[in-house]
């Protein structure tokens, strides 16, 4: 089974043995984190975190968010996996790269990590902020090329941030105060991908909301969503 949840931000409690995720998953299952994974930090606790993940009995995959140490993620070996490119961190821990199409359990998934940091002004380049937080034109183009190769026929999109019209939808309903200009390229790209692929299931994090939305879209933070059943398997009862 394939499950998706929202930002973990390096919180080991989200994956400890008594957590909803670990109680749910078997060794055959995959949990995908929709960005801001946050465990791979270039600090002494990195080896502790890797040891923790090696002890998990399931597979963990993540797309990148905006709060990641991008040079560290990029230093791990790159390889092909389920039709797309990944960084292999551990045998059971992988980074799903931007603009890729993976076929897992006969479910075709498009991934696009990255987002603008709303707290950019409080962060320092090379310390806790990297310009790679937003996708490059090359990554955008690779995504379009990979979608074209499968006839734009996908079952799900997993991104970190949301399509632009969804941000406007959330702002109108009081969930967002404003939309940053820096958000426009990635969010308009995601809106285009939604339209290009006929509005498949679209799951994203970043907004720190657990909320079913419109157009087959779900904002995730603590909730857990099954790609196999196309429904929640755990609700955190928070918004």
Domain with 7 in it: what CATH number?
Answer: 3.60.21
Calculate the CA 155 to chain-centre distance: 16
> Are residues 138 and 180 in contact, defined by beta-carbon separation less than 8 angstroms?
no
Helix 137-149 to helix 184-196 angle, to the nearest 10 degrees? 10
Asked, for residue 50, whether it belongs to a domain, the answer is yes
CA angle 88, 40, 233 (to 5 degrees): 80
- The tally of domains found in the chain comes to 1
Asked, for residue 27, whether it belongs to a domain, the answer is yes
Asked, for residue 18, whether it belongs to a domain, the answer is yes
> Are residues 73 and 114 in contact, defined by beta-carbon separation less than 8 angstroms?
no
Percent of the chain with pLDDT over 90: 80
Asked, for residue 182, whether it belongs to a domain, the answer is yes
Q: Please tell me the predicted confidence (pLDDT) of residue 205.
A: 97
How high does pLDDT run on average in the chain? 94
Confidence label for 179 from pLDDT (cuts 50, 70 and 90): confident
Give 109-118 pLDDT, tens digit per residue. 999 999 999 8
How far is Cα 81 from Cα 141, in angstroms, rounded to an integer? 20
Lookup: tokens for 231: 């429904």
Asked, for residue 137, whether it belongs to a domain, the answer is yes
Give 65-120 pLDDT, tens digit per residue. 999 999 999 999 999 999 999 999 999 999 999 999 999 999 999 999 999 998 88
Confidence label for 128 from pLDDT (cuts 50, 70 and 90): confident
The domain of 211 spans 2-234
Asked, for residue 239, whether it belongs to a domain, the answer is no
pTM for the model stands at 0.96
- CA R_g for the chain: 17
> Are residues 187 and 180 in contact, defined by beta-carbon separation less than 8 angstroms?
no
């Amino acid at each position: 089974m394939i499950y998706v949840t929202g930002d973990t931000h390096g919180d080991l409690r989200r994956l400890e043995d008594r957590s909803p995720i670990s109680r749910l998953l078997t060794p055959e299952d995959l949990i995908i984190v929709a960005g801001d994974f946050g465990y791979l930090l270039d600090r002494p606790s990195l080896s502790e975190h890797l040891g923790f993940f090696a002890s998990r009995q399931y597979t963990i995959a993540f797309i990148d968010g905006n709060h990641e140490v991008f040079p560290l993620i990029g230093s791990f070996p790159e390889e092909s996996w389920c039709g797309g490119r990944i960084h292999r961190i551990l045998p059971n821990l992988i980074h799903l790269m931007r603009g890729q199409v993976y076929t897992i359990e006969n479910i075709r998934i498009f991934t696009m990590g990255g987002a603008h940091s709303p707290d950019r002004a409080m962060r320092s380049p090379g310390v806790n902020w990297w310009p790679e937080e937003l996708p490059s034109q090359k990554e955008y183009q690779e995504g379009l090329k990979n979608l074209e190769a499968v006839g734009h026929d996908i079952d799900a999109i997993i991104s970190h941030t949301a399509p632009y019209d969804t941000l406007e939808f959330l702002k109108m309903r009081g969930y967002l105060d404003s939309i940053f200009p820096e958000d426009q390229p990635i969010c308009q790209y995601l809106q285009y991908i939604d339209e290009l692929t006929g509005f498949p299931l679209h799951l994203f994090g970043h907004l720190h909301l657990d909320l079913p939305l419109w157009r087959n879209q779900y904002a995730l933070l603590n909730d857990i969503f099954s790609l196999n059943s196309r429904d929640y398997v755990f609700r955190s009862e928070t918004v």
